[in-house]
Amino acid sequence: MNTESLEMARLRDLLQAAVELELSTIPPYLCALYSLWPESNDTARLIIRSVVVEEMLHMVLAANVLNAIGGEPRVTGREHVPRYPHELPDGVVLDLLPFCPEAIEGFLKVENPQYSHRALGADHPLLAGRRPDVHLAHATTITQRPATIGAFYAEIIEGLEKAAATTGEQALFRGDPARQITRDYYYAGGGIPRPVTDLASARAALTEIIDQGEGDQASMYDSDGDLGHYFRFKQLKYGRSYLPLDDAGTPSGPEIDVDWTAAYPMIANPRGDDYGDPELRAASDAANRTWSGLLRQLEAAFNGFPEALLMAVPAMFSLRDLALVLLANPLPCGDGRHAGPAFEWAQDR
């Protein structure tokens, strides 16, 4: 094996890890989003939704870059589907939590590595007994050192530049353009995915991920003029919106109606095995099957059948409806906690 193919293998591995990394951020946001009581917390709902759809865009952009260099993005199977608690390269642990101040603290940390928060210890009442082991993200296992998400992507961009310089840009970006996800089938999700065909478009795609996500904390607004994720969540933390003249500190605008009690108190990091009650177990299995079916559709879309995203839309509705069934149900043990979606890979269809 020559050095070129080693480099290429590393690049593909990093990009595959990027796809999984973006995927792994989606279930925590969905748990917070779906746990909101109907007709409550309208602003919180809008804010969490606006962030989670951008994470979906990031996953698509990462898959486009991987496809552009001839890779095959994978989001199915036990080795690619995130498990929770889930540790990111910068040491942040993603838990599945309902809408609560602790969840928002976690989101703030995910969106801004400089944000200092008291990380939830395993002994925190929310987590007591709910964090038996932490699963390492693929990105965490393949980065040599603890790295911010920004540094992780910087390594990818650097790798692409190096490979383009040694093997030639055309040889590097040899993927079939028909495998790119474009606005034909991806929409209403935080922006328009541009096809990646060369170094410039690859850099633009990865920069957009960094920009929208961790971002440049010097500016509160992204290039579209939208408030950055971190600042959107700060509005929820403080129950106030930012005014145009506010600096990056505490928002001083009108109050936002945030009702922490108007959410189902979901058990942290739910698992199908937690549900002894047969009806809950069946509902959880159904949610896991739907989640897994959705991931199969996404994988098909990333591997030459972009039109599979059409059918992923009803699958997302089904997933939401099944999650709501779980979330609306208290656990039989009587501690007041509710069931929730486990987002586990289900092998059987």
Q: Which residues here bind another protein, judged by CB under 8 A?
A: 39, 42, 46-47, 49-50, 53, 183-185, 187-191, 220-221, 225-227, 232, 241-244, 310, 313-314, 317
CB closer to another protein, 184 vs 273:
184
CB closer to another protein, 222 vs 299:
222
Cα atoms in the 13 Å half-sphere on the side-chain side of 62: 29
* Residues in CB range of 125: below 8 A, 6 or more apart: none
CB closer to another protein, 162 vs 317:
317
Neighbours of 181 (CB within 10 A): 24
CB closer to another protein, 82 vs 191:
191
Smallest distance, another protein to C-beta of residue 77, A: 29
Q: In the structure encoding, which two tokens stand for residue 19, read together?
A: 């796809």
* Alpha-carbon gap, residue 167 to 257, rounded angstroms: 55
Smallest distance, another protein to C-beta of residue 84, A: 26
Smallest distance, another protein to C-beta of residue 232, A: 8
Q: In the structure encoding, which two tokens stand for residue 293, read together?
A: 């079916």
CB closer to another protein, 83 vs 232:
232
Smallest distance, another protein to C-beta of residue 110, A: 18
Smallest distance, another protein to C-beta of residue 245, A: 10
Smallest distance, another protein to C-beta of residue 154, A: 26
Q: Is the peptide bond before 278 cis (omega within 30 degrees of 0)?
A: no
CB closer to another protein, 141 vs 219:
219
CB closer to another protein, 119 vs 243:
243
Q: Which amino acid is at 68?
A: A
CB closer to another protein, 168 vs 314:
314
Smallest distance, another protein to C-beta of residue 199, A: 24
Smallest distance, another protein to C-beta of residue 118, A: 28
Q: Which residue has the tokens 């260099």?
A: 69
